[in-house]
Structures are given as C-alpha cells and as structure tokens.
Amino acid sequence: MFIGDLEKVVSLLLCLSSRLARVQDAMSKIDGNTDQSLNERHKLLSRQREDAKDLKENLDRRERVVSGILAKYLTHQQLQDYRHFVQVKTSLLIEQKDLEEQIKLLEEQLETLEKSIHP
C-alpha cells in the first residue's frame, strides 16, 4: 500500500511541477501584459504543488514508520534491500516522467515542423 501511495504522490508532484513549468514558460513568452488566466493558473498550480509537497512529507514520515515496523521482522540486509527498492522506485518514476516529457516535447516539435513543411 505504501509503494502504491509513493507512486501516486511522486507522479502527482512531477505532473504539477511540469504543468507549472509550462505555465511559467508561457508567462515568460508574453512580455509585459501577462494573461490573467495564466496568472490564475499559475497560482492554482503553485498551491496544488505545495499541497502535494505536504503529502510527500507525510508519506516520508509514513515510510519511516513502515521501515521501523519492517526492521522488527526483516534481517538487516533485507531492510537495506527494501530501502534501496524504495529509492530506485522513486528514481525510476522521475526518470519515466522526464522521458515522457521529452517525448511530448519532441512530438510537438515534429508536429510544428510538419506544419511548416506542409502548410
């Protein structure tokens, strides 16, 4: 259950951070007069990301509790393996999201290129 929650919270944080970055990028491209809807979206995403960070902090506390419980039942090596698994799982989720974002960006660039070739 903890690992499932970890996946959800990390994915949520990454998604919100990505969306916030896109809004900030759009805001930077609009010189001077930033669209009000972009400002509102930025505020909303910022609040949501802060809430997700709170969820992650709670999950980190829960992970320490789970590790404490597992320490009673697992050998030292098994506990180390579990902790390594949790770290690798998080790293892989981050890498997966990064690759998905790169693919999306490249698809958008390809679409723009195709439109410029065949208007």
Exposed / middle / buried, residue 16 (Cβ in 10 Å: 0-12, 13-18, 19+): buried
Tally of structural domains, the chain: 1
Indicate whether this model's pTM tops 0.85.
Answer: no
pLDDT tens-digit series, residues 10-42: 989 988 988 898 888 888 877 656 677 888 888
Range of the domain at 54: 2-117
Q: How far is CA 68 from the centre of its chain?
A: 27
pLDDT tens-digit series, residues 2-18: 889 999 999 899 889 88
Q: How many CA atoms does the CB half-sphere of 85 hold within 13 Å?
A: 11
pLDDT tens-digit series, residues 52-90: 999 999 999 999 999 999 999 999 999 999 999 999 998
